Structure 1
Amino acid sequence: MSWFQLPLGPLQTNWYIQTNDQGEGIIFDPGGEVEKLITWLRDRQITPLAILLTHAHFDHIGAVEDVRNTFHIPVYIHENEKEWLIDPQRNGSSLFIPGSSIKAREAEHLITGEQDLSIGSFSYQVLETPGHSPGSLSYYAKEDKIVFSGDALFAGSIGRTDLPGGDHQLLLDSIHDKLLELPEDTTVASGHGPTTTIGHEMDGNPFLSGF
């Protein structure tokens, strides 16, 4: 398996795709710049199988509808944010981008709890990591030693919790109980900024110094 990162959209949200040797891929958080994203996929002859959302803030879902319609693929999201895709107020687009209305159809698949998720040859351990938002998820690919953590954990920082549904202590608990339990050499593919590792954040993240 291989994976790629590409910052997209108004907040340069990291879009990720994990691919296999057959040219298939799983998309994480297509945040915007849909033409750039689709061109990137077609230039590399990658066939997406699904869109996995870590959460449904507007900067993570801006290209969902166009990508889903172009490749005829399903969307997965936590049930706690099932209405955020269709509601610009809940996903924040109407608040942060005046006059904007970012939305998409309801997701084909609702994730209702922690589980093992298999799509084609791709397998993930789905971790519930709320705090940044009520339905935040992290997708851990054990064999590839990478976790797609959305806006839960960043290099040297953690997700903001001052948005509707945010909870600072809950986020810290999610990071401590779920993400820091992963092997220290696990790559953390964050929603913004550079990648990091679990071990690096355990040793040097100032927000986690009490753990």
Structure 2
Amino acid sequence: MKWNQIPLGPLQTNCYVMEKAEKCVIVDPGGEGDKLIQYIQTKKWQPIAILLTHAHFDHIGAVDVIRDYYQIPVYLHEKEAKWLVDAALNGSQSFTPGHPIKIKPADQMITNEFDLVLGEFHFTVLETPGHSPGSVSYYLRDEGMIFSGDVLFQQSVGRTDLRGGNEQQLLTSIHEKLLVLPEDTIVLPGHGPITNISDEMNQNPFLNGF
């Protein structure tokens, strides 16, 4: 499988594009939809789905542009179903005043943890709330990698001072859902560089003493 990390939007949120057999899945298209389409077109890949780790404004800005262009479904946890259409809930009303983000509802609602098969892609969807109520992480067991959204970063963790955030819940999610994965699992976060489970177990100061 090929993948690329593409920082997009006002906060340069990491968007990820994964490819197998010329089909691709997009994780968190945060903005600059035309730039993302141009990249995909250059590769001659065919998108088949958009996966959202959560619905904060900096992760969803290009959703409608990509969805409408390729006519593909968007996956999001049901606890944040209303966030896509509500600028107050997704944070754009506060963080980008004058530029509220309101997009169409998700096509597929995630209601629990399950195995998601999209063509050649086999994900395990893990519920990892704490940064936001509906935060999920997408684990590719065969590839040894996980898309953690804003739950776990290199030597940091997601903020919990936004709507629905909960620090204890976030730490529980990290320890019970992420740190139990094989230590060589690659972590692809919503911001910053990639890392791995082993390094975060041993070096992340926010996880010490939990």
Structure 1 residue 17: deviation in Å?
1.1
Which range moves more in the overlay, 137-146 or 97-106?
Answer: 97-106
Aligned to 2:146: 147
Q: Deviations over 1:112-148 (max 9, x none)?
A: 0000000111110000000000000000000111100
Q: Deviations over 1:60-105 (max 9, x none)?
A: 0000000000000000000000010111110000111111111211
TM alignment of 1:13-162, pairs within 5 A: 13-20=13-20, 22-162=21-161
* Counterparts of 2:127 and 2:164, CA distance in 1: 15
* Counterparts of 2:34 and 2:109, CA distance in 1: 27
Structure 1 residue 2: deviation in Å?
1.4
Query: TM-score, with normalisation over the residues of structure 2?
Result: 0.99
* Counterparts of 1:3 and 1:181, CA distance in 2: 24
Where in structure 2 are there 5+ consecutive unaligned residues?
none
Query: TM-score, with normalisation over the residues of structure 1?
Result: 0.98
Amino acid at match of 2:3: W
Matched residue SS, 1:83? helix
Aligned to 1:5: 5
Amino acid at match of 1:126: V
* Counterparts of 2:4 and 2:68, CA distance in 1: 22
Structure 1 residue 7: deviation in Å?
0.4
Aligned to 2:172: 173
Structure 1 residue 157: deviation in Å?
0.1
Structure 1 residue 177: deviation in Å?
0.2
Matched residue SS, 1:201? helix
Q: Deviations over 1:139-170 (max 9, x none)?
A: 00001111000000000000000001000000
Aligned to 2:200: 201
Structure 1 residue ranges, 4+ long, deviating more than 2 angstroms after superposition: none
Matched residue SS, 2:82? coil
Amino acid at match of 1:177: E
Which range moves more in the overlay, 93-102 or 52-61?
Answer: 93-102
* Counterparts of 2:37 and 2:152, CA distance in 1: 27
Q: How much identity, in percent, do the aligned residues show?
A: 58
Q: Deviations over 1:24-83 (max 9, x none)?
A: 001000000111111000000011100000000000000000000000000000000001
- Aligned residues, how many? 210
Q: Please give the root-mean-square deviation of Cα atoms over the aligned residues, in Å.
A: 0.6
